[in-house]
Amino acid sequence: MAALTFFNPRCIGLSLGCITACFVLVVFAELRWEIRRRDGGLQVLTEEEARLEPLANPPSNLRGTSATVNGNGDAKTAASASAASAAALKSQLQWLAAAASTSATSFNARSRRFAVQAPVLRFLAVGDFGSGGLKEWLDKSDSASTFSRPGDQRTVAEGLERTASVAPRPSFVLGLGDMLYPHGAASVDDDLFTRRFDDVYGSMKPALAQLPWFLTMGNHDCEAGEAGRLAQVARTGVDRAHTGFGRWRLPQKYYSREWLVGGSDNNNNSSSSDVGDGAPPALLRLLVLDACSLVCTGSDDGRCKPVAGDSPAEIARQYAWLESELSRSDATWTIVAGHWPVYSAMGNGPTPRLIAELVPLLQKYGTTAYFSGHDHSLQHHQLRSKKEKEEEEEEESVLDFFVSGAGGYSVHKELNGWSVPIPEGLPHAELVFAEPVHGFMSVMADARSRRLTVESYAKDGTTVLHTSVVEGRPPTPSQR
């Protein structure tokens, strides 16, 4: 009877079905590693990004708004919440923490590298863009748009689309924080993700819709508290499953990415090819900071709202990670990004804490540039200093600071009343350029000249207000 059961056509059909399902799963797993061809080069889905897919379906109690977020950034249940809703909030926090942990697996083990075959890499940089459009402006209860004209975010988005459509097309967008005014996301499927991001930069703008956005959280995003911050991290996996490649990319509160420009290194191996004129491929390293933690933890600054979960120990861990990344001297350009500006002549002004704690690290390791938002304008500052060399008495080093925080919210035309001067003893930077207008920046990394060209665009996406050229590191003897 057992033998007859085994040869039963129904059992055979079920077995074949299981085998087919397994085969499909294997093929799907392999496809997660596929190389996606884009204008300007190749991008490889990293192991980390593939791993985010299981996070696309959070538990049902994470959907919706069982937790509300107030202006102080504290997660709280509604006034009528029962013990059951409190338990639901606890499970939300546990799932979000697990999501963030999953996306961080092997974070320090190896860099996340993409390859661009062309000799140039281009990206766009914009911050403080999540202010919404006409609907939000008409709804005066939405304080995100109280001080913004209707359509400012969408007008800048149209300019971004116009610029992104021109060759060489950008490989990604660097989002410099304040994506979700006024108080960040209350849950992983908060409709702010749709209203402030997907609807504005999605399918109606074909050039932008193809680009990944590498993001850092701003003060308004962090006002959602620890649960809201983790929701924004977990959104990376949800968006990955929704779009097929992942437009929203915030895999951790702080993280690194690399692009090999003019090479075909998809496995983190060196390339011996050249990009013309005998120049070897160049490497751009992007280090994205959690500036909410670095600026607001333990701060008595009225512009900051400390977030539960941050601590002096967390600041020390982040700076230790940053120094470890900066100490790797193989990059042609090392770009550090965070929401708060180090130097600024408009809006909130300079950030003394970053000048005292971050700048020395950036100078020590020859960082190329620091990009930020927060102040709603376009700015360029340079910090010049002398450093000793073995064979020469000293040489001048230049560290560039760019502010691109004009993506949609009302512009800052001058310093706010609460801005603070740079304390005595801290270095002052030279102001190169500043415009209180809506717009963004386009950055071109050229492997042949080893230069970064930073263009500040007005919101129309065609008017270039200022161009800055930043020198990168020359190739080392081993790279030639």
The DSSP annotation for 335-361 comes to: EEE-SS-SS-SSBT---HHHHHHTHHH
53-100 residue pLDDT tens:
344 455 544 444 433 333 333 333 333 333 444 455 455 555 555 544
Residue 188 — pLDDT band, cuts 50, 70, 90? Answer: very high
List the one residue out of 250, 92, 306 whose CA is nearest residue 186.
92
Residue 112 — pLDDT band, cuts 50, 70, 90? Answer: confident
Query: How far does the chain reach from its first CA to its final CA, in angstroms?
Result: 74
At 132 the pLDDT is 77
- Going from the C-alpha of 400 to that of each of 54, 62, 74, 385, 438, the distances in angstroms are 40, 42, 36, 12, 21
113-162 residue pLDDT tens:
898 889 999 999 999 999 876 555 555 445 544 555 556 899 999 999 99
273-299 residue pLDDT tens:
556 555 789 999 999 999 999 999 887
Average pLDDT over residues 422-432: 94
Domain ranges of the chain: 34-67+76-479
Longest dimension (CA), the chain: 94
At 117 the pLDDT is 87
Alpha-carbon distance of 112 to 407, in angstroms, equals 27
List the one residue out of 457, 463, 454, 452 whose CA is nearest residue 440.
457
299-313 residue pLDDT tens:
766 667 777 667 889
Residue 224 — pLDDT band, cuts 50, 70, 90? Answer: confident
Distance of CA 63 to the CA centre of its chain: 24
- Report whether 470 contacts 452 (CB < 8 A): yes
Mean pLDDT of the chain: 77
Residues 6+ apart with CB under 8 A from 398: 382, 383, 384, 470, 471
Residue 267: pLDDT over 50:
no
In a 3-state reduction of DSSP, which class is residue 296? helix
At 225 the pLDDT is 87
Entry field: residues in the chain = 480
190-205 residue pLDDT tens:
999 998 999 999 878 9
Beta strands 430-435; 378-387: pairing state: antiparallel
Residue 37: pLDDT over 70:
no
Alpha-carbon distance of 18 to 16, in angstroms, equals 5
At 149 the pLDDT is 59
- Going from the C-alpha of 330 to that of each of 250, 280, 366, the distances in angstroms are 25, 12, 12
- Report whether 286 contacts 337 (CB < 8 A): yes
Residue 416 — pLDDT band, cuts 50, 70, 90? Answer: confident
Beta strands in 26-171 (DSSP E): 35-38, 41-44, 68-69, 75-76, 113-116, 120-126
- Report whether 303 contacts 219 (CB < 8 A): yes
Sign of CA dihedral 92, 98, 99, 100: positive
Cis peptide, bond prior to residue 427, ω within 30 of zero: no
CA torsion, points 290, 294, 295, 300, in degrees to nearest 10?
A: 130
In a 3-state reduction of DSSP, which class is residue 207? helix
At 421 the pLDDT is 87
CATH of domain 34-67+76-479: 3.60.21.10
Alpha-carbon distance of 404 to 453, in angstroms, equals 15
Residues 6+ apart with CB under 8 A from 279: 262, 447, 448, 450, 475
Bridge partner list, 398: 384
